[in-house]
Amino acid sequence: MRTIFKQKLKKLVIPIFMLTCFLTFSQSGKTVTGTITGADGEPLPGASVVQKGTTNGVQSDFDGNYQIQLVSGTNVLVFSYVGFSAKEEVVGARNSIDVVLQEDAQNLDEVVVIGYGNQKKSDITGAVASVGSEELEKAVFNSVDQLLQGRSSGVLVTSASGEPGAPASIRIRGNNSISGDNSPLYVVDGIPISGSPNFNPQEIENLEVLKDASATAIYGSRGANGVILITTKRGKIGETSFDFYTNISYSTIDTPYEVLSGRDYAEYRNEANAALGSDLPFPNPEQFENQGFDWVEEIVRTGIRQEYGLNISGGGENARFFISGNMLNDEGVIINSQFKRGSVRANLDLDAWDDKLNLKFSLNGTQTQNFRSVTDSRAFPYGAGPIFNALFAEPIVPTLDFSGFTGEGIQFVNPYLEVTEQDDRDFLTNVLGNVEATLKITDKLSYTFNGGLNFRLRTRDIFTPSTVAGGLLSNAVGSSGNSRAYDYIVSNYLTYTDQFGEDHEFSATLGAEYSEFNNYGTSLNVNDFDIQLLGYDNFGVATGIPVVGSNRSQSILQSGFARFNYSFKNKYLLTATVRADGSSRFAENEKWGYFPSAAVGWRISEENFLKDNETLSNLKLRASWGETGSQAIAPYQSLSRYGTSVYSIGNSAGLAYIPQSVANPNLKWETTEQTNVGLDLGLFRNRINFTADYFVKTTKDLLQNIQIPSQSGFGGALVNFGSIENKGIELNLDALLVNSKNFQWNSSFNYTSYKTKVLELGGAQEIFGPGMGVNVYGSGHIYRPGEEFGRFFGLNAIGLIQESDFDGDGNPTFAVFRNDTQLGHWKFEDVDGDGVITNEDRKVIGNPNPDFLFGWNNDFTYRNLTLNVFVQGSIGNDLYNPVRTTLSSGLFGNESYRNQTVEWYENRWTPENPTNDIRFPSINSIIPAVANYMVEDGSYIRLRNISLRYNVPLPDKIGITNLQVFATGTNLITITDYSGFDPEVNSLDADTLRASNGGLAPGVDLAAYPRPKTFTFGVNLSF
């Protein structure tokens, strides 16, 4: 594998090096002189003058004078100064060029995309964060939902798996719901979409994160969890340009656990069986010296990721275009895990009728193929996943593909066969398109139509042969699922802008929107394959009774919205928004919801007493209040619903209709009320910018499923009860720390701290989260009024059972759990004092919620060399790690999964080593209950990304306008006390296949697919 790595590296690096050497030559040219001043005529000392496309540059002196000798290259000079807009001048035949630079209002007057329009940044009164394409190009991403990690305050990004193509979970300002979806709404080029985008992240021009109610209320019932606005790249006026990029990545993982092998394993199992009075399975353990399989090594490889892309853009004043294509092939670090994606985009802009009509056409087509290994540990032992299985599997078997019985006479489940013989393919085709037409009716009034389609076709086929754990008991299992989804969105709105005199500016937006969501699905599950060679290519050879299903659903959302913005003397700002939504998902009596918001701003820096302050460039106070909603439930939940079941009547099959839920004619929206207070500060011509926000967000009328008496004939009902509060602060600091002739240093830092608290549960005292593992672990989370969201809840182990814990008659003096009095086994706190350990003795044992999150991004530029260093972290959160507990417990009765760590074996409780450390119980312990020995500190600081890029100087007239080579490292260094593979894990959240969890089990690590360390080498070429 290392030889292959070196060969591919040579193929990439050597041509780049030769091309660089060929291109980096120069020749002397003429000398240009001049003076650089501001608009007020004052000279600008230290201004930068650079010959475009080269490293040739100088700085102006104290009087603003400069002198530069041109080298071979472009005939254009770029003039720049901190706090001023850059300016380009074509030299031509001139020997002297005087330049006047204008103050840069970009930080304040750049246009920010907001819902159904845009607004100057200086006029924003809500909490909005922006991430531009220049930030996104510094790292390597497979999906859009990975982009925001650590790059914006108030945004928490976690993932259930490091598997190629795995989805991420995004929370903006915490969780708003217990049973509903907490994911933000994505809006792509003005079109709200279901779920997260599937297209290539390289197509994105910028992201806007709307966080407070003032910003999100325009999206009403879909805005409670925050909104992420995505603007894709579009063509610009100029000659047609071609941008080609390619990169290759190599990924590896480190194994944190050292497990027993060969002789040590044989001696361990002999000891375990002897303690139970059983025969020794390995009479001669010496024969296994230096033998045995390291199953993790057998299923892991060096991952290789390859990406190729081409962007073509250009156009004139009346027509502009952007066309892109991208191919991605990501082979993961676990054998047979692979993610492929092909993506094409075409964006076209047309101006007609003397620029009175603007048309924007956007079309994206994406196809992904995800070849998956079983990467989760939900059902133990047969659905535990390859990493979990590889750690526990017996190392002493005859061959790599062995599938017989172990030395202890137990059916062996081979982790290598699990990843090589199981076939799990997930195919997705996504077409996303929209047409936006803006008609300028008058200079002040415009009309916009935006119509979009989001089509998704997904097929997932799985075949699990009888040699693999999941198919062992059923003589192979096959399943096939197909789904189609069509979303149609049409919005129409008028925008009016006007100004009265010099002091009054206002704009108003009034619109209506229609959204329709259609879903179709079919499924097939079969088992008992006498012929397994064909896999899922022929399910017809299965002799088991097939289970066939199909479904269809439709929901409609009709909306009206209005927004009013007002500015007085460019100092005092007001924004007011209201939206009305009518959803078919809710009950007849509660179809409509109304969501108002209001915000004010005061630009103190525009007051006369600060306006001419040379230090203070910008100072603005913001305050907002508003309500948003959530309709994140499936259609028909307010109605009486029935399921079906097949039963036998003699030799015939009958169909039964079974009540599932009772109707609720008053089912209504979850409503989130949010108050935000913010401060924007700019110093030294906006060379330093600071933003602070404090928010309080309360969600009421939570959508919850309740159980009703069985004699009613129904299983349950969906009702509104309970409330949650999120409260926190967000800080952002951006600074240009150094700006000298040849060196610049830009740094940005963001900090987020918030707490999510359950206020009330509609009279219920507590709600428990889902179980962490079928057959093994129970529920480990609790939700109580007045307490934080999702705290860890379980037994509290206070030590190991010692000889001194028994009286003279041999009776235990401690509270007994499951009748277990074995020396060296766990001893638990008797919380209720009844002398027996039961569920009533559980208590809060940890907290998955971090104290704070942060991201620190730095760009160092020296001439044509740029170094980006991005550090991200989470501090103060706990993690459940039942994997380490089970690997260090001497667990008894665990099928063929009986291996343990070397650390446990060397430190376990024995009569000779009567330790009281709960991490090292004695041999043959019972199945561990959820308890504090599973809880670890999950805090981490990670070098998320480090990228070194070099812009190769190019001679003139070769047709290449830019050549950049780069090397990037991802996840290279992680500082943490966590003992598992990765502290950035959330096994029971973020996976769309586990939506039923509702995010109620955060902070659990069940040996998910590890997040790898990655080294990337690439080239960007423009011509």
Q: Which of 125-134, 388-397, 758-767, 802-811 has the highest mean pLDDT?
A: 802-811
Asked if 756 contacts 999 with a C-beta cutoff of 8 angstroms, the reply is: no
Identify the pLDDT of residue 1015.
96
Coil, strand or helix: which one is 647? strand
Look at residue 799 and tell me whether its pLDDT is greater than 90. yes
Judged by average pLDDT, the poorest of 24-28, 680-684, 754-758, 827-831 is: 24-28
Instruction: Return the beta strands (E) in 833-917 as ranges.
Output: 843-846, 852-862, 865-875, 878-880
Identify the pLDDT of residue 258.
94
Instruction: Report how far residue 304's alpha carbon sits from residue 683's, in angstroms, rounded to the nearest whole number.
Output: 45
Asked if 624 contacts 602 with a C-beta cutoff of 8 angstroms, the reply is: no
Look at residue 565 and tell me whether its pLDDT is greater than 90. yes
108-126 residues labelled b (16+ CB within 10 A) or e (exposed):
beeebbbbbbebbbbbbbb
Residue 68 token pair: 């530069």
Question: CA of 803: how far to CAs of 351, 643, 823, 829, 917, in Å?
Answer: 87, 56, 7, 18, 15
What is the DSSP code (8-state) at residue 588? G
Judged by average pLDDT, the poorest of 158-162, 687-691, 848-852, 904-908 is: 158-162
pTM equals: 0.84
Look at residue 27 and tell me whether its pLDDT is greater than 60. no
Asked if 382 contacts 897 with a C-beta cutoff of 8 angstroms, the reply is: no
Identify the pLDDT of residue 712.
59
For 759, the enclosing helix (H) or strand (E) is strand 743-760
Mean pLDDT of 735-744: 89
Look at residue 24 and tell me whether its pLDDT is greater than 70. no
- Considering the chain, what is the average pLDDT of its residues? 86
Identify the pLDDT of residue 382.
54
Mean pLDDT of 500-525: 94
At a CB cut-off of 8 Å and minimum separation 6, what does 614 contact? none
Nearest to 309 by CA among 237, 219, 202, 449: 202
Nearest to 197 by CA among 345, 374, 360, 348: 345
Look at residue 1 and tell me whether its pLDDT is greater than 60. no
Identify the pLDDT of residue 968.
95
Instruction: Summarize pLDDT for 197-219 with one digit per residue, the tens.
Output: 888 888 998 888 898 888 888 99
Q: Does residue 381 have a cis peptide bond before it, meaning omega lies within 30 degrees of 0?
A: yes
Look at residue 969 and tell me whether its pLDDT is greater than 90. yes
Residue 56 token pair: 């040739």
Instruction: Summarize pLDDT for 156-169 with one digit per residue, the tens.
Output: 887 767 888 887 78
What is the DSSP code (8-state) at residue 685? T
Tokens 């990721």, residue located? 305
Question: CA of 202: how far to CAs of 198, 235, 328, 364, 1014, in Å?
Answer: 12, 15, 12, 13, 19
Q: What is the pLDDT confidence band of residue 178, given thresholds at 50, 70 and 90?
A: confident
C-alpha angle 1023-233-103 in degrees, rounded to nearest 5: 90
Instruction: Report how far residue 409's alpha carbon sits from residue 407's, in angstroms, rounded to the nearest whole number.
Output: 5
Instruction: Summarize pLDDT for 343-402 with one digit per residue, the tens.
Output: 999 999 999 998 899 999 999 999 999 988 754 445 554 566 788 889 989 999 999 999
Look at residue 928 and tell me whether its pLDDT is greater than 80. yes
**Percentage of the chain modeled with pLDDT above 70:** 91
Instruction: Report how far residue 924's alpha carbon sits from residue 276's, in angstroms, rounded to the nearest whole number.
Output: 8
Nearest to 137 by CA among 201, 209, 186: 201
Instruction: Summarize pLDDT for 873-917 with one digit per residue, the tens.
Output: 999 999 999 889 989 988 876 555 689 999 999 999 999 999 999
Look at residue 2 and tell me whether its pLDDT is greater than 80. no
Look at residue 221 and tell me whether its pLDDT is greater than 90. no
Count of residues in the chain = 1023
Q: Which of 39-48, 394-403, 416-425, 914-923 has the highest mean pLDDT?
A: 914-923
Judged by average pLDDT, the poorest of 66-70, 199-203, 216-220, 712-716 is: 712-716
Per DSSP bridges, beta strands 185-188 and 227-232 are parallel
First-residue to last-residue Cα distance in the chain: 36
Mean pLDDT of 20-28: 36
Domain spans of the chain? 29-100, 422-585
What is the DSSP code (8-state) at residue 634? -
Conformation bin of residue 195: beta by default, left when phi > 0, alpha when psi is -120 to 50: left
Look at residue 947 and tell me whether its pLDDT is greater than 60. yes
Give the phi and the psi of residue 570 in degrees, each rounded to 5. 60, 20
Fold of 29-100: Immunoglobulin-like (2.60.40)
